[in-house]
Amino acid sequence: MVSLNKTRLVFCTMAPRNIIVIGASAGGFDALKRLVHDLPADLQASIFIVWHMAPDVTGILPQVLARHGSLPAQNAEDFESINLKQIYVAPPDRHLIIENSHVRITRGPKENRFRPAVDPLFRSAAYTYGTRGIGVILSGALDDGTSGLWTVKDHGGIAIVQDPLDAEIPSMPRNAMREVEVDYVVPVSEMAELLVRLTLDEAAETSEVSMEANKQTEFEIRTAAEARTTHDVMKFGELTPFTCPECHGVLFQMKDAARPRFRCHTGHAFSSDSLLASVTENIEESLWNAIRCIEESVMLLNHLGHHFNKNNQPALAELYFKKALEAVERGKIVRQAVFDNERLSTDIVRAQAVDENGSEKNVEGRVKPGNEK
């Protein structure tokens, strides 16, 4: 049941926690295999997985998970019904979204440079099932999933991350811990037992979510589901001077969390971390384009110089050769700029945040110690 008032949305449920959403990226393949291997065949829950992959990669993850575990796994199909004791995997180049009693598979705009992305799945689980949701972040780079896990927690669900010391690539769980008051931090070897225990508990009866936050979550789900109007983002974000690395549209900073998060008016979404990585990557691409243009100008100037030299115009030829040499020197400066350019992310910057004695500064932000509440 859903009840409305002027300022709050209240989810009321007496159902068990049986919606498990899992996000993973680099290093997550082995973690997913281990987790699924340990889950029992009679698990009273539905499992939904987003694992970052290239769009042209064959979606073999379901077959691998089915071989390693006792639960059936498959690439999810659009409008497929949700059943217990079933694993649904986002297929390549498709977002996986949960709606009432069924899933959606869409080609909505990329989030954090990925499709499928973790955040749309987590937001849709939180919006649709509230306190029944359990969000799990496994190994991966950057911070896709942090915003979605925050939404799961905000809607009364349970937030779990793989212990960063247990993760092959700890950035995704570590970033989630910085931004979300996670409930459990555990190695993969202990995660299946934890999930079984949590699915045996009844979800909390109510979870209050502000109406404004709920409208924004709905907007972001509709964006991933290819069902939104162009100017909706203006209602939930503030205009910035930044441009979208995907389409070069204007970016808006979303209003929902302490950590900056951005969307363009066409729908692409970026965490601050993924935007920083994209921008610094684009710097290198732009510099190489500049080098290419400079070298083309050098070749053309020399070509013209030889042409005028053959036509007995040595003074003009010499000027073209001089301009070519000047361009070569400028090219050296740009080439050095390429070599000096850094691809940056939150983890890279934090790793460099050391004092003169070589000890790490207090820049970790909020990290909840221990394994449980």
Residues in the chain: 373
Q: Supply φ then ψ for residue 234, to 5 degrees.
A: -65, -20
In this structure, are residues 139 and 31 in contact, taking their beta carbons and an 8 Å threshold? Answer: yes
Provide the 3-class DSSP secondary structure of residue 86. strand
Query: CA-to-CA distance for 204 and 192, rounded, in angstroms?
Result: 21
Active-site pick, 25, 147, 271, 278: 25
Query: Identity (one letter) of the amino acid at 217?
Result: T
Check if 144 is active-site.
yes
In this structure, are residues 41 and 72 in contact, taking their beta carbons and an 8 Å threshold? Answer: no
CB atoms within 10 A of CB 265: 18
Check if 25 is active-site.
yes
Q: Is 144 left (phi over 0), alpha (psi -120 to 50) or beta?
A: beta
Instruction: Describe the strand order of the beta sheet including 8-12 as a list of residue ranges.
Output: 2-4, 8-12, 206-210
Query: CA-to-CA distance for 215 and 165, rounded, in angstroms?
Result: 37
Active-site pick, 38, 119, 144, 154: 144
Provide the 3-class DSSP secondary structure of residue 108. coil
Active-site pick, 52, 95, 155, 265: 52
Query: Identity (one letter) of the amino acid at 214?
Result: N
Query: Identity (one letter) of the amino acid at 25?
Result: S
* C-alpha dist (Å) from residue 170 to 18, 165, 166, 237: 27, 7, 8, 30
| Residues with a known catalytic role | 25, 52, 144
